[in-house]
Homo-oligomer: A and B are copies of this chain.
Amino acid sequence: MRIKCRKSTLSSGLAIVSKAVSTKTTSPILECVLLQATGGQVTLTANNLELGIETVIEATVLEEGKVALEAKLFTDIIRSLPDSEVDMETTSDIRVDIHCEKARFTIPCRNGDEFSLLPNIEKEKSIQISQLALRDVIRQTIFSISDNENARMMTGVSLEVMDNRLIVITLDGHRISRRKIDLRGDNPDVSVVVPGKTMQELSKIINGGNDDLVDIYFTDQHLQFEYDQTRVVSRLLEGEYFKIASMMSIGHSMKVKANKKELMAIIDRARLLIQETDKKPIIVSVKNDGNLYVRLDTNLGSMNEEMEIEKEGDEIIIGMNPKFLGDALRVIDDDEVEFYMSDSKNPLIIKNEKEDYVYIILPISINTDIYR
């Protein structure tokens, strides 16, 4: 194999595929990136068997071939080169020469045939969405997946297409996040659960705007994201996702409208008094005087603060994990947020009227009598 290409082109391509390189593995080939030079182009591929990424870069192919290179070292070397033309050539079965201006590197390589290529994905069912919207929806839901591998379905992100809307759901047993996005045109109904890691890595490499589109293809076992010269293939999590319909239709006896920034600042202040191992809730109470009160007592100290809100319905006292409340508020782009509650035992729900977003947070049980 011998190719020539711009350093910047190669470097950008490597930055994309490196998101699918295994870091902790006993199989060295999973730490590699594959270069395939055919026709007038070079395809870069990384594949950790759960997530695989392939991107095609512009290059001059002087000799066709393929070779696998240790991804981190290769990426670091290319990044370090001057912004000029890179000339790469396999000099034997186990060595590659990299040449750029006066710099010459020789590094070991592996036979490209050892490498597991990405599966071909059937393109029967697909939707199209803007890169910006996809990136946003990942950011707005990913924080409430679980990292407990024993609850494997909770480590995933549920993607459902229904009535020409994409519904994204994550949950971790204490809270549920749901976002809806309207899709253009006619879309097939599908329902899959994608590993959270896939969505996290995807959101790092999809950096287009509102007019840049990404195609998503669904099969029984895989999901493929395709945009520009890149395709990202992920295995799906097998199994049934959680039924959340009953949670979504929980009634409420009161509603609060609050300034988001002000409330977030109060919650962030309260969190200063909570140590990592501490599970102390903040006590949120909404009173007929038109104020929302937050207070907290921990080993570190105590705090209380109030803010004006708009309220409909009864007074309430509820115990909340301030991190969960903060996580949800942080990803809501509205200036004003609306909360729905009924009592200290039932969930707090943050949603907008159109229900583009719904965040449900279970309360922490408290003795409400002592806080009245």
Contacts and interface: CB of A to CB of B under 8 A. Distances in A.
Interface of A: 73, 76-77, 80-82, 102-108, 265-266, 268-269, 272-273, 300-307
Contact of A73 (B107, B301, B302): B301
B105 A303 contact: yes
A306 B106 contact: no
A106 B77 CA distance: 54
A280 to B, nearest CB: 15
A180 to B, nearest CB: 34
B269 A80 contact: yes
B77 A269 contact: yes
Nearest to A70: B300
Contacts of A108: 300-301
Given A103-B305, A302-B105, A265 B76 contact: no
A77 B269 CA distance: 7
B301 A106 contact: yes
Contacts of A106: 301-303
Contacts of A265: 80, 82
B103 A266 contact: yes
A102 B272 contact: no
A84 to B, nearest CB: 12
Given A73-B273, A102-B307, 6 more contacts: A102-B306, A103-B303, A105-B303, A106-B301, A106-B302, A108-B301
B305 A73 contact: no
Given A105-B301, A301-B73, A301-B107, A81 B269 contact: yes
A307 B103 CA distance: 9
Nearest to A304: B104
7 contacts: A73-B300, A103-B266, A103-B303, A104-B305, A105-B269, A105-B273, A108-B301
A110 to B, nearest CB: 13
A232 B273 CA distance: 30
B266 A305 contact: no
A81 to B, nearest CB: 7
A306 to B, nearest CB: 5
Contacts of A107: 300-302
Nearest to A295: B104
A323 to B, nearest CB: 15
Contacts of A269: 77, 80-81, 103, 105
A57 to B, nearest CB: 21
Contacts of A73: 272-273, 300-301
